[in-house]
Structure 1
Amino acid sequence: MKMTEEQVASFCLSLPGAREDYKWGGVRVFSIAGNKMFALQNLRGESLAFKVDKELFLGHVDRPGIHPAPYLARAQWIIMNTPYPLGAEELRGLLQRSHQLVVNKLPKRTQVGLLLDD
């Protein structure tokens, strides 16, 4: 089963400390700790970008429908268009992992309440 754009947005906002803003002429930005982005969604729902594990980046972009994210690929971000080429369970797992990758880079005192159990 595939996720819709709104299901993705709702899931992102359900993660600890997540908030959303609109930037850059209509990009929906999901972030934590003020301004630490973990996912981006085009306002019209045409694309979704998020961070992945460094060692898994090349494996992800080898998959059909998944590409290095413009301007963010150097930080191991991938992008995909709708309909998303991943099933709901896998996509939720990757979005949660993106959230945690960003949380893990925060100062320890800021991480409190944002870390999820693996």
Structure 2
Amino acid sequence: MKPDDVTAHCLALPGAAEDFPFGDSPAVYRVGGKIFALLSEGAVPPRVSVKLPPDEVLAMRAQHPDTVLPGYHLNKRHWVTVLLSGGLEAEEVRELLGQSYEIVVASLPRRLRPA
């Protein structure tokens, strides 16, 4: 999956917004003001960080040790960094982005959840 595909997928999710609070990189994707993904396009290879349930964090890291790394500068219990180098199929990356989005939406107060 290419960085442009990650951006397009994230921004297609209801209520999602992109901003750059840390400068040019990483791109931060939020819903209801909370982060659900961070995309580092300038890294080699490009990478995206997503939030997952703790048991899935461990499983993903065990299944894909060269592609799924501990969340870079994030809580390692809840976040993983996925290298966009082809180790995971595009559909798997889209599923991880969707799962991260859903986890964050579920944690929002009802008034902040997208319709």
TM-score, normalised to structure 1's length?
Answer: 0.84
Moved over 4 A (4+): none
The amino acid of 1:42's aligned partner reads S
Aligned to 1:58: 58
Superposed, which structure 2 residues align to 1:18-37 within 5 Å?
Answer: 18-25=16-23, 26-33=25-32, 35-37=33-35
Task: Please state how far the C-alpha of 1:32 moved relative to its aligned partner.
Answer: 0.9
Deviations 1:71-110 (A, max 9, x none): 3134511002231421111111110110000000001222
Mean CA deviation greater in 96-105 or 46-55: 46-55
Q: Distance in 1 between matches of 2:100 and 2:41?
A: 20
Change in Cα spacing, 1:52 to 1:9, as seen in structure 2 (3 Å) is same
Q: Secondary structure at the match of 1:73?
A: coil
Which stretch shows the higher mean deviation, 74-83 or 46-55? 74-83
The SS at the match of 1:58 is helix
In structure 2, the CA distance between the partners of 1:36 and 1:83, relative to structure 1 (3 Å rule), is: same
CA RMSD between the two structures: 1.6
| Matched position secondary structure for 2:15 | coil
Q: Percent identity?
A: 31
SS of alignment partner, residue 37 of structure 1: strand
- 1:22/1:29 contact within 8 Å kept: yes
Contact conserved, 2:38 with 2:50, CA < 8 A, in 1?
A: yes
Whether the 8 Å contact between 1:38 and 1:51 is mirrored in structure 2 is yes
Query: Would the aligned equivalents of 1:51 and 1:75 in 2 still touch at CA under 8 Å?
Result: no
2:14–2:114: 8 Å Cα contact kept in structure 1? Answer: no
Query: What is the match of residue 116 of structure 1?
Result: none
Letter in 1 for 2:10: C
Q: What is residue 111 of structure 1 aligned with on the other side? A: 113
Structure 1 range deviating more: 102-111 or 10-19 = 102-111
Matched residues in 2 for 1:65 and 1:83: separation? 8
Distance (whole Å) between structure 2 residues aligned to residue 16 and residue 24 of structure 1:
24
